[in-house]
Chains A and B, each alone.
Chain A
Amino acid sequence: MCDNDHRRWNHLKKILERSSPFCHPDFEPGTGILEFLQNSCKLLVVGAGGLGCELLKDLAMMGFGDVHVIDMDTIDLSNLNRQFLFRRKDVNSSKAEVAAKFINERVPTCRVTPHHCKIQDKSEDFYRNFHFVVCGLDSVVARRWINGMLISLLSYDDNQQLDNSTVIPLIDGGTEGFKGNVRVIIPGITPCIDCTLDLFPPQVTYPLCTIASTPRLPEHCIEYVKLIQWPKENPFDSNIDTDDPVHISWIYEKSLERADEFGINGVNYRLVQGVIKNIIPAVASTNAVIAAACVTEAFKVATSCCPLLNNYAVFNNADGIYTYTYEAERKSDCITCSPRKAKYLDIDDTNMRLEKIIEILCEHQQYQMKNPALTIELDGKRKTLYMPNVPSIELKTRPNLKMTLEQLGIADGCKLLVADITNPRAFEIILKIKNNCVSME
């Protein structure tokens, strides 16, 4: 390092080269730690959006030298009120690439490598490369996938002892309006995302009969146009493109007509957009706060200069400024992080149709799947029951949905192999069927 660089990091050096009563026991003050941050430590930022831009800035400014960022999105005009590495001219470019270029130019001590792709496009070997991962996502599914990936990289010895060299910590931030949360996950040791699935708020849905026949709210009218009127009238010979203002305008106009018909007030363009695109409000300040808290934890993980957040913090500055930290607990039967524990699913009887099993997996408190593919092992042979993502196989397996377990030859104790977007690995679920024989009614 040249002399200039030395002075540049004087702020960090005081923290890293001086001892303190509050250090982690492993902390050995000295010049080696900054060297490590600058030259050896390699980390991954997932998401280059509202949190991602802040994370990249904060990491670069906290001395990290080798940062990768992955994001499949391109820049939209509505990002510019908070995603400060992007300008008007960058609209439609890759978020990861523009963000990386900006940081690399502004902070030459940091090299950001962009990956403009889906997290699912990368292999285990890619994720294994990093010392730790920082997540700034707005999707629960993507969070669960990354969480599942890091847990799948853990290895255990013959005595079920965790090999610590396979542990890649995950620091996760999330925001919504003036609220946010930060958590530190040490896979295999502290609670993982799937241990605490109940912390995510349930999605708002409206009963179809209300939407169809007894609407009361403007949202009911908008959902009606989206779910019933659009498929029926198919105005532009295509599915709804939520980014096409012509589509949104059509929905707005039809929703307003329906609202007028029922005497309902309050349909406006902003609301229509919000409902159709499922928009979550976002401001620069909350993203700054949450990303900063994540990076402070990242800095602690990398340097041991002080104890880690244990292990969950919530933040809200709608009324004053409020934070609350607590220790979330590991779930002993977590579907993702409890090692080699068999998973079960309770089913009433073999009369149940396959489509019902899928519904149960999606609504199940622990599984909360999105769109599972199901395979079963029968007499030592694999049989695909349903495969939603490959159109030709979907078509072939669709009739199975209406068949009962009995008709499909599935009995108590059968092993169901389930693959879903919420987890990078397919896993086995053993069916426990109470009434295992007969058909009634």
Chain B
Amino acid sequence: MAVPSPKSPEQSERSRKYDRQLRLWGDQGQQDLETAHVCLINATALGTEILKSLVLPGIGAFTIIDNEVITEEDIGSNFFLTADRIGEKRGSIASQLLCELNPDTRGHFIDECLLKLLDLNPGLFNTFNIVVTTSLHEKEIIDLSHKLWTYNIPLLVCQSYGFFGSMRLQLAEHTMIKTHPDNQNPDLRLDCPFQKLKAHFDTYDLEALDLTNHLHVPYLIILYKHLEKWRNDIGDVNVLPETYKQKQVIRENIKNSIRKHENGTLHHEENFEEAIRSVNFAYNRTSLSENIQLILKDEKLMNLTSNSQPFWIMARALKDFVDNEGCGRLPVRGTLPDMTADTFKYISLQQLYHEQAAKDAEAVYNRVQQLLQNVNLPDDTITEQDIKIFCKHASELCVIRGTRIADEYERKGNADNEISQSLEDPDSLIEHYIILRGIERFYSEYYTYPGEIDEQVEPDIPKLKLCISKLLSEWGCMSSTKEDYIHEYCRYGKSELHSVSSFIGGCVSHEIIKIITRQYKPVNNSFVFNAINCSTESFTL
């Protein structure tokens, strides 16, 4: 029978240009990126470095809010400003030079003071997908934080200061489906094979197979047969091997079932060796992780309305599936890890998992349809494809609920647990977060930065120290920060080192991409970088 020859798809220029990143976040992620609009407040070196790694991968649009003019100092740290434009609008030139990086991105610029904009045109901020700031003062941070919290727009407050830098993310609620976990256990269901899988297992009689077939049995079948045998031996048909000793017994049994040459030496049966190596994880009980249990208990899915997000509607359908057809388990993921086998044995097994996954997704789909009807939403609010993806990734769903940055500034006399706990640890970088906060306070009091001019380095040390102790006592913390570090920060005198900004800029851009694409988990919720020893740390504040 003549099979029509398959045709190669046309490779668009776009998919060729973005090939290396499409392999990470896929076409959907790219589309999310290309329709997003990010706002940068202050086109400092850090600011333009952040935008650079967003414009290159093809973010839809950015808007820079900045009312500074370019100075000589700016030229020394910011790659997207040039000496011949000194005295011109900083945001305008930065926007122009950033746009040169990618004709697909639209760049805008607003020459206005942030506080004035917040006052006169707050609705503007509602048009962005995310807002990122650098070098803001305390009051600006507080006002912006309040406004964006009410709009439910993510805010990232970033700083680069000498050899240190920080980022604080404010995110009211963030739901993710594809989190791309690094080492996920396969979903094998050896403890609870679905009907067709069990029937398939039962068609095998390992001992009756000839050598060639014996060498090509997928390890999954070997594991299942040995589970049955072990259960028989101990007389309990429901038990799973949990202890090292129990697993060791099964490993020995599998080893003993490897075929032997006539002279008594073992055949090289790779599939049996794979089975022995997989004993440790493959017999895990199929259950819901703590994280998933929490999501399925969330009040957001208990009270669905026509305003509910698709994520929560699907999560509710998932919960109903688990409580009913799923018998307490998630839908079958439908992917099978590679294992030594011949083509037929492997593919028929793979097919079974795939079919069951489709069946489970179908059940979830029907539930979603019902739920949509109940809240008077159109059928096509959520597509079948959306649900397939949701079910496939059900075990890795993630919800982050953040805190408001302004609360951190306005909360008084209330020891922040994370801060006081981390301060106990001498290696923790939280100290630098506190010093950076102290420097913001210093500016609010003196309208200058510690050590900004050479003569002020020494006299500013005790002044900065005082600002920090005041902050700590406001939080009810008893500890203090190291004198050496305070001196070091006064040495910096607000200098911004390009390579430090570029490091933090790269980190922040990727956090923004994670939030826009809803793929991969962002930092929750604060991050400090120490360039002296190239270390970073994250905290939840």
Q: Is the CB of B502 within 8 A of A284?
A: no
Q: Is the CB of A216 within 8 A of B347?
A: yes
Within 350-408 of B, Cβ neighbours of A (below 8 Å) are at 350-351
Q: Does A8 contact B (CB under 8 A)?
A: yes
Task: Report how far A252 CA is from B9 CA in the complex, Å.
Answer: 10
Q: Does A58 contact B (CB under 8 A)?
A: yes
Task: Report how far A81 CA is from B30 CA in the complex, Å.
Answer: 12
Segment with Cβ contacts to A, from B129-137, B245-253, B290-298, B517-525: B517-525
Q: Is the CB of B488 within 8 A of A20?
A: yes
Q: Is the CB of B532 within 8 A of A321?
A: no
Q: Is the CB of B17 within 8 A of A19?
A: no
Contacts of A256 in B (CB 8 A): 6
Q: Is the CB of A283 within 8 A of B20?
A: yes
Contacts of A317 in B (CB 8 A): 507, 510-511
Task: Report how far A73 CA is from B83 CA in the complex, Å.
Answer: 31
Q: Which of A20, A57, A214, A307 has the most CB of B within 10 A?
A: A20
- Nearest A residue to B354 via CB reads A265
Q: Is the CB of B535 within 8 A of A325?
A: yes
Q: Does A18 contact B (CB under 8 A)?
A: yes
Segment with Cβ contacts to B, from A39-47, A293-301, A338-346, A347-355: A293-301
Partner of B497, one of A15, A80, A289, A323: A15
Q: Does A232 contact B (CB under 8 A)?
A: no
Q: Is the CB of B523 within 8 A of A320?
A: yes
Given A14-B451, A78-B17, A284-B52, are A306 and B8 also a contact pair (CB < 8 Å)?
Answer: no
Q: Is the CB of B502 within 8 A of A292?
A: yes
Q: Is the CB of A77 within 8 A of B509?
A: no
Task: Report how far A260 CA is from B18 CA in the complex, Å.
Answer: 29
Q: Does A137 contact B (CB under 8 A)?
A: no
Q: Does A156 contact B (CB under 8 A)?
A: no
Contacts of B524 in A (CB 8 A): 320
Task: Report how far A274 CA is from B15 CA in the complex, Å.
Answer: 13
Partner of A323, one of B73, B350, B534: B534
Contacts of A309 in B (CB 8 A): 533-534
Partner of B534, one of A15, A245, A296, A318: A296
Q: Is the CB of A10 within 8 A of B495?
A: yes
Q: Is the CB of B20 within 8 A of A21?
A: no
Task: Report how far A214 CA is from B343 CA in the complex, Å.
Answer: 5
Count of interface residues, chain B, beta-carbon cutoff 8 Å: 92
Tell me how far the C-beta of A180 lies from the nearest C-beta in chain B, rounded to whole angstroms: 10
Tell me how far the C-beta of A441 lies from the nearest C-beta in chain B, rounded to whole angstroms: 17
Contacts of A284 in B (CB 8 A): 52-53, 56-57, 506, 509
Task: Report how far A3 CA is from B501 CA in the complex, Å.
Answer: 25
Given A81-B56, A256-B6, are A8 and B498 also a contact pair (CB < 8 Å)?
Answer: no
Task: Report how far A62 CA is from B6 CA in the complex, Å.
Answer: 53
Q: Does A108 contact B (CB under 8 A)?
A: yes
Segment with Cβ contacts to A, from B179-187, B222-230, B409-417, B468-476: B179-187
Partner of B487, one of A21, A253, A318: A21
Tell me how far the C-beta of A96 lies from the nearest C-beta in chain B, rounded to whole angstroms: 19
Tell me how far the C-beta of A72 lies from the nearest C-beta in chain B, rounded to whole angstroms: 20
Task: Report how far A286 CA is from B449 CA in the complex, Å.
Answer: 31
Tell me how far the C-beta of A24 lies from the nearest C-beta in chain B, rounded to whole angstroms: 11
Contacts of B531 in A (CB 8 A): 293, 296
Contacts of A274 in B (CB 8 A): 23
Partner of B79, one of A4, A12, A57, A306: A57
Partner of A106, one of B19, B73, B82: B82
Partner of A319, one of B18, B498, B500, B520: B520
Q: Is the CB of A307 within 8 A of B532?
A: yes
Q: Mark B57-92, 1 if CB is under 8 A from A, else 0.
A: 110000000000001110111010011000000000
Q: Which of A4, A270, A307 has the most CB of B within 10 A?
A: A270
Q: Is the CB of A58 within 8 A of B502?
A: yes
Q: Does B163 contact A (CB under 8 A)?
A: yes
Contacts of B17 in A (CB 8 A): 77-78, 80-81
Tell me how far the C-beta of B14 lies from the nearest C-beta in chain A, rounded to whole angstroms: 10
Within 193-225 of B, Cβ neighbours of A (below 8 Å) are at 216
Partner of B162, one of A15, A54, A291, A323: A15
Q: Does A32 contact B (CB under 8 A)?
A: no
Q: Which of A17, A287, A317 has the most CB of B within 10 A?
A: A317
Q: Which of A21, A214, A288, A320 has the most CB of B within 10 A?
A: A288
Task: Report how far A262 CA is from B348 CA in the complex, Å.
Answer: 11
Given A216-B341, A285-B506, are A61 and B77 also a contact pair (CB < 8 Å)?
Answer: yes
Q: Is the CB of A286 within 8 A of B510?
A: yes
Q: Does A95 contact B (CB under 8 A)?
A: no
Contacts of B53 in A (CB 8 A): 283-285, 288
Q: Does B3 contact A (CB under 8 A)?
A: yes
- Nearest B residue to A277 via CB reads B19
Q: Mark B262-278, 1 if CB is under 8 A from A, else 0.
A: 00000000000000000
Q: Mark A243-264, 1 if CB is under 8 A from B, else 0.
A: 0010011001100110010111
State the A residues within 8 Å of B (CB): 4, 7-12, 14-15, 17-22, 54, 57-58, 61-62, 77-78, 80-82, 84, 87-88, 106-108, 177-178, 182, 214-217, 245, 248-249, 252-253, 256-257, 260, 262-264, 269-270, 273-274, 279-289, 291-293, 295-297, 299, 306-307, 309-310, 313, 317-323, 325
Known contacts A283-B24, A288-B53; 12 additional CB pairs below 8 A are A7-B73, A22-B488, A54-B502, A58-B502, A77-B13, A281-B21, A296-B531, A317-B511, A319-B181, A320-B521, A321-B507, A321-B527
Closest CB pairs A-B (n = 3): A288-B506, A61-B498, A289-B506
